[in-house]
Structure 1
């Protein structure tokens, strides 16, 4: 029936698309055991996009009565006898306080409980976000029973941190194991190479061949330091001619025999074997000398390409990777044995948070990502929380941003870092009240005044309530 449906936003507009069923109440019992059962509480709550327990509990808070909530059996009871008209008036008050957006007056909102217990009402229609009236008794119930998928409680935050730390530790172990395997393989290859060279030298000495006399045919006077490519090539060619001359001559094919009748074979005489061994040893030394000369001239890259511009490399890498992967890459490029946590933090800040990022959209999500990376870096070093000196570094970095840009939302930056448990309240207040003699430092503190006022008011309110 049409009379059983009403507008959520109120009024008699028949074409309003936001509808809900009217409350259906049933009074049961008598005497001291009289109670009112909300028959369709689940349907009403579904139309409002709120848990049914919130609606029933709000009735109990407003009417001063106890409630009984059994979500599995769909039982919602308010003690006492209450008429439908009274319940509808109370429901309209609930809608105004916890459903409708204060900006656009539409019921397109979601309730979110942050880790500090603040309940925010975020509108999906206009994007407006604000705190609900935290003085109402229902807020305590919502804090203890947050909406599904909307909570960012401390327990979930600790779970998220633990997952990030586990990923970092796992990657560190795999990287360490890979390094050990590479070192072991290099050692084994070097030992094999040394043993083969020793056996070759013994065989040459037994046959009465001196390596020094053969090497002088390849290396010019003065050693590799005075050698150039033309001289090395010429001497190597001469040594090949000498070795081929000393080797036994092979029979020439007949005049009428073609290439198919040629019989190729390796000369296995002692002289040929000694010559080939000497040529291999000389060639190895030539190649080794060329490689060392190229390294001295700078033609062989020793460092990773990212060292040329680590800030640009890390900035490009962060565009399409998650927080744990970015932290792993920072540890790979700036290992702990070479860079301290302060150096790693500075690289992250200078790479991912620059003046153009401050002016761009999505600043809060960008800072949240940076906070996650720094938190993961601190955890990889065995820190349960971000060290104090790193917190100071992040506060001081806002002054560098203000040196290049006047309108830096320092309050927003520090608020996100505060919410992400990266910078503590005491550090923010100490930094703010530390006098700065630079223009950028004074500007940064001026831009952070709104956050300081909020922190001090919140602290005074908690003290008064206690």
Structure 2
């Protein structure tokens, strides 16, 4: 981001610690008479902070002011015809952010614009990475026509994420709120590239994940007898204590009163009576805050073990905003993967075939990074479980790891 003064993306938020910032929009008047125009020298930097193409806010200014606009991306020049006061343009930028950036649900700017197609009709939605909600855009605004004709260009990771949607939804167990929409998003989110041969190939390969993931192993059949469930509960309690051994966090011992043990027990005691998992996720975060461990990576490790049942595939999307809020480093990501090993290895052996789906969900939500997953998948470790269990969990993840590697290779070849 270019140097210079910055402001909150939501300028109505008077908080100097507000994490979402953007450069203050600057303007420059050029020309005279009928040829006078307003140039926005830092439009690219402002748009980058908003995760939008710079042509979108520029065109929005033109729609609102009834003025012609022009874009010269090569020379980074974005122009609105006529002489316009900088404060007026900043006010219009606030309106653009409200209409085309902020999530309607949580008012967070971490959204992507997605184009959905239904027959001849097209709709633009905001897909929020923070809360997971998808909210509509007012299709009556003139800018929507421009966006439909000039859809957002997807990065490599975005293309893989859209292709991976097919893999995440194959074979049942989908979240009810996503079943209908994801099929459309997989086809439409790529915009003009929806018919690209590379995209088709990646989608086809991703769809095969479900078949490949059905790994069978007699040693992984879940015993649901009361005695077996009781034993696994004891194993969980032991692993909760193990989660805090040898670390630098508070309670780094086997004390049953450590904040991590308290968190694990609280989740287990309250999980069964929950009707709305999203609401429960909020309650969990409040509990984590009360214990003072919301920034600790070991809290992530405990939650991975305690939150999920054998219905993890349908539960996971309700918990993604919780994990996204808590995970802020590579160490947190590794703790999440360690928790996944313990969840599958100790508590829910029936989840082994869906390990690729769980990884896909965390990857699509930008919670797990490709490099971290790849390193984890290729290095067996005894840090969280025994070596044999570590091998088995990684073997189960192979279809996803293979897809990740081949999708990257194919996209690199396509870019050459």
Output the TM-score relative to the length of structure 1. Answer: 0.35
More helix by share: 1
Output the TM-score relative to the length of structure 2. Answer: 0.39
